[in-house]
Structure formats: structure tokens, C-alpha cells
Structure 1
């Protein structure tokens, strides 16, 4: 809705990670530096951690776009709580090896042959495992064993592990992972973006889809965006998308802090879990947004008037909740990946609504 209203070529704040929207904050710049250093070593493990929504998957997408695929055979896995044997079978399949009916010893031999086959093409294999915190210790140990495969004194496989903060804690605190820990050659934790980076981040994503300054943003809007999102990219995208929708509905030319805070209050009412999904270390919006001091109400002396006002307020509240629910469902549907029907036959209805 809002992309058409403001003449944009796409949705700048979609929640699905898209490398074309890559924006290099300070913490992401450091992450890419650690990745570059680790890849130059050609062996061992590189570990990147971050809170939910910190941009780990977008980082991987950017990495996949920038690496030299003539030298690296990159394999990306999004892990669940899979056991060691299943993980080995997935790796084998990605190496074009059929794991059907193989014992574990045969499977390891087949994987090694697959890695050698890649090496003979002049490439080395890079295995990227996302959501590494979901892997059991046994699966992590198998990954360590795979990193031992060599040819001519050079490692055949290098591994990047991405996970939430608890993976970093687990890596440092588990005695069973000591050998893997010794193989880690680079590690970085993605922090939320800084307050001064929010305006450039929003402007970058809007510019990618053809934004020319409409709507504009007041300076205090960026402070409100930061306070409500704690600098977490996914939460900022969610809020910014809803703010843009609200601005389109109201036909706003300028978005200020009052608009951002109003939409944030609606989001907190519609999505009460929003305040708890920022991960460790992120501030909750309730604690971040300064609430205005309550204003003392003038005394009411006529009970009949009070009853009537209360009834009207209750009715408005019900209507407001219903409208917000409908808008939430509409936005979720618009942002989904499902095919949309052609609305050309009913455009007259929209014209009638505008005229009304």
C-alpha cells in the first residue's frame, strides 16, 4: 500500500532478509572484517553471534554476494535441533554425495571424497551453518571432525557458525567443546546499531526503492525510532514499515516523533510479545520511550454526562481495536509471499470510497 502511495519501486522495510538492502553499520563492518580475515586463513571456524533480528542472515547474504565463487564452493545450512548423523547426511547431499544406506564410517569417507572432488576443481569448500545454537554438542563435534580433512597440508573445509548469544556462552562454557574452541580463528558479536546510524539506515533502505524525500522525516523522528527499536534492525524494519503505512493512510508529507510513538503504541497493543523478542541486552520499548506525565482531569459534576461520555469512549475503543486488527491482517497479507489477485475489476469501489 504505502510503496504505491509514495511512488516506491518496492517495500524497503520487508522482514525477509534481502542482500540488496545491505547497510554497513559499525558492528557489521567489524563482522565483515573478521570474516575477511578468517577466510584468508582458509581453515578453522569463524563464529558470528547476535541477538534475534541483529542482521546475521543479512550478513550471510551479503557475504555470499561478495565472495569469489570461482575459489569457494559455499554451502549454507539453516540448522534445527538435528542430530550428528543427520547433519552429516545433509552435508554429504550438498557435496553431491548420495548418503542413502551408508554407515557413519562410509558416510565420512564419502564426504571426504566429495571435498577432494571440489578441491580438484581449484576450489575449497566453505560451510555456513545458521542458527548454530540449535545444534547438539554431538553435531558440533562432527563439524570439528570434518574440519580435520586435509589435502597437501591445506584444509579442505572451512566453517562459519552463526548463532544467538547463548551459542557464544555455550562455546566458552562447555568443556566438551574445548577442541572446537581451539579451532576458532575469528569471532564477533553483532551489536544493535548506534542511535546516530538510524537515520542513515532508514534513508539507505528507502533510497534503494526510489525514495526522493517524500515522506520526509523530522530530526526527532529518528530518536523515537531508536528508542522504540533499541537499534535492532528487524524491530526497526517492523516499526518503520508500519509507520510508512500509517503515513500513507493519513497522506502525511512529514513523519515526526509523535507519529512514530503513536504507531509504536499501536504495535505494542497488537503484538504484546514485541517487547520481549529483542534478545539479551536489548532495551524494551516500554523502558525506552519516555511517557508523558499524566494530566489531571477536570472534575465532572453531571453523572448523566459522565455516563454518556463513558459510553462513547467505550464505543470508540471497540471501533479502534477492530480497525487496528483489520489493518494488521491486511498488512500481514500484503507482506506475505502469496500470489495476489488482480484488483482491476473492483477499482471502481476504491474510487467510490474516495469520493465518499
Structure 2
């Protein structure tokens, strides 16, 4: 598809997280600093939150790629809404312990032995739990209990929790999670990219995929990309994939604001609910209902059939003009929202419809 047209070695804007495409934005750089501090402590909980598509999973991939397995044993779990006992079984499996048929007491004993076995090799164990917002309190309490395991005054297990913003709110607002909250040693929320970071992000990913400068980018395109994606990496990837495909199909050499807005308009028609690629169009208020005829007018019309016909024609004309005006106002709102100039004569058409 477009990667062949532009001579790319692969698709640079795939939605599947790939740590090779790690981009060191300001918020991700700060997250790595907090992670580095937390891992150096060797205990407690590290919490990273972010909106859907903010790059949490890519962050995990980047972190694990930096870890020396000779120093740290990593267990990664993508959580679902599982209770504490089931989470314990998942952790046991990560330590190569068969949980089937075991009671909770037996599993706790075996998990502690497994953590000690890792510690005897000179390594620590890091448990990474993604989608932590799905965990019930019982599962979070089970994680807190696991963090109590020690050997020689040092924690055997450190836990890294990633979740959506509601997990941070829940952690800060629940009295039942007070003990866990006291063990959080580092916490950071991934923010969207700033407008000035979008150009670097796009060219960074293209360069990894073998970009040779074709297509090129007009200066006016990056503010539009930021507004359309909100600075969220996954939304930007989704939009850029469509943009490059459109550019390949139309054989465009330069990607500019007009091309991006054309793609957004197409996406709005194909996926009306896809707010990530096109803004919602403001609803144009419906006109007030036409006032009912007065008793005097009805009486007069009833005695004059010709006048009745004239009134009916005038009412029909008013309704047609109102409908035309609503259509034109909707189109104008659409053009304004999509940052493209209104076609010539559009304002004149509205004036004519209102006349």
C-alpha cells in the first residue's frame, strides 16, 4: 500500500504498540525519570496513568527493553476484572508455579518461595500490571500483600501499575486503598503531546521506517494534525495512516492542511462517530415553529378562497427558505470546523436563502 508507494520499509503508524518507535516526548521523558527513581528504590509501587492511546503500553515495552535480565526478573500481566485469588494464580504462573488445585494458602507459600528463589540468583522481581483500572479492590489488596514479602530487610517484589485516569482518581479517593497509597513511591500521568512535538513525532516514526523525504510536509499541516488528534499518539497514528494512504492514492507529493482536512472529511462520512479524526459539527438550532393563524386571518381566509391559497403558498415558501437556510448554515459550520475556506458564493447563497 502506501509504504511501497513512498519507499518505506514498513508502516510507521501502526496502532499496535512497538517499542522500536519510542518517542521521547516531554511527558514520556518525565515518566521514565519517575520510573528510574522508583526502580532504584527497589520496593513499593510505581503508578503511571494516561488516557487511552497515550502510550502506556509502548512505555512498558521501552522500559522492559532497557532492563538487564541479569538484575531484574520481569513478570507482565494485562489485567482484567479478576478477583484477588485469581490474580494470585496469575502471579504464580508468572513464577512458573502451577496453580491448579492449590489453595490460597499453598499458593502464597509457593509464590514467596519462588520470589526467594529469584533473589538467590542476585535478581529482584518486578511485576508489571497493565490496565490496572479494571482490578477490583480485592485484587489490589492482594498485590499489596505480595509487596510485603522480604528477605534480609529488602523487598522481594516491586510492582508497576499502569492504568487509565480513573485508576488514579480511585487510588486517591478510596479509603479502602489507603495502605496501598502509602506504598506508592512514584506516580506520573501521561499527558498528550504538545503542539510543537507533533512534527518531531511524525518525522521520527517515518525515519525509522526508511523515509527519504517523500512525501514532504507543509508547515501548516502540523497544527492541524495536533488539533485533530488532541496530541494523543494513537489518534495521531490513526490519522497519519489515513493521510499517507490518501497521499499515495492521489499521488500527492506534499502533505498540507488541505489534504489532512480532506481525509478528515472522508472519515467523518465513513465513520460519523469517529471524533478522533474529525470534530463534531455543532447542531444548527431548529427555527421556531411558525405562529398559528389568528382567528381573524382564518375567518378572512375562510370567506376568500383566493386569499387562502395565497397564504398557503407564502407558508410553503417560508418553510422552504427555512430548510435551505438550515442546510447552508450546517455546511458553513462544517467548513469552519474543518479549517478549510468556504467555497465561493457560499455566503451569498445563505443571504439569498434568507432573503
Tell me the TM-score normalized by structure 2: 0.80
Aligned partners of 1:147 and 1:157 also within 8 Å: yes
Question: 2:272, 2:161 → 1: CA distance?
Answer: 31
Aligned to 1:60: 60
> Post-superposition shift, 1:293?
5.2
Aligned to 1:20: 20
Q: Which structure: larger Rg? A: 2
Tell me the TM-score normalized by structure 1: 0.80
Question: 1:95, 1:257 → 2: CA distance?
Answer: 52
Aligned partners of 1:14 and 1:238 also within 8 Å: yes
Aligned to 1:268: 268
Question: 1:51, 1:79 → 2: CA distance?
Answer: 17
> Post-superposition shift, 1:292?
4.5
Matches within 5 A, 1:94-109: 94-109=94-109
Aligned partners of 2:172 and 2:181 also within 8 Å: yes
> Post-superposition shift, 1:265?
1.8
Question: 2:45, 2:126 → 1: CA distance?
Answer: 10
Question: 1:88, 1:285 → 2: CA distance?
Answer: 44
Aligned partners of 1:230 and 1:285 also within 8 Å: no
> Post-superposition shift, 1:98?
1.1
Aligned partners of 2:261 and 2:340 also within 8 Å: no
Matches within 5 A, 1:80-99: 80-99=80-99
Aligned to 2:180: 180
Matches within 5 A, 1:1-356: 1-275=1-275, 285-286=279-280, 289-290=338-339, 292=341, 295-296=346-347, 298=349
> Post-superposition shift, 1:291?
6.1
Question: 1:141, 1:272 → 2: CA distance?
Answer: 42
> Post-superposition shift, 1:286?
3.6
Residues 226-258 of structure 1, C-alpha deviations (whole Å, 9 max, x = no match): 010010000000000000000000111100000
Change (3 A) 1:250 1:26: same
> Post-superposition shift, 1:269?
2.6
Question: 1:273, 1:136 → 2: CA distance?
Answer: 31
Question: 2:159, 2:33 → 1: CA distance?
Answer: 16
Unaligned residue ranges in structure 1 (runs of 5+): 279-283, 302-356
Question: 2:349, 2:71 → 1: CA distance?
Answer: 74
3-state SS of paired residue (1:269):
helix
Residues 201-243 of structure 1, C-alpha deviations (whole Å, 9 max, x = no match): 0000000011010000000011110010010000000000000
Question: 2:250, 2:342 → 1: CA distance?
Answer: 27
Aligned partners of 1:224 and 1:289 also within 8 Å: no
Aligned partners of 1:228 and 1:289 also within 8 Å: no
Q: CA RMSD in A?
A: 1.8
Question: 2:167, 2:341 → 1: CA distance?
Answer: 39
Unaligned residue ranges in structure 2 (runs of 5+): 282-336
Aligned partners of 1:128 and 1:161 also within 8 Å: yes
3-state SS of paired residue (1:166):
helix
Question: 2:188, 2:17 → 1: CA distance?
Answer: 20
Residues 270-310 of structure 1, C-alpha deviations (whole Å, 9 max, x = no match): 233332x79xxxxx8348754645723559x9xxxxxxxxx
Question: 1:2, 1:149 → 2: CA distance?
Answer: 53
> Post-superposition shift, 1:69?
1.2
Question: 2:222, 2:73 → 1: CA distance?
Answer: 41
> Post-superposition shift, 1:102?
1.1
Aligned partners of 1:227 and 1:289 also within 8 Å: no
List structure 1 segments (4+ residues) > 3 angstroms apart after TM superposition: 284-294
Q: How many residues align?
A: 294
Question: 1:125, 1:272 → 2: CA distance?
Answer: 46
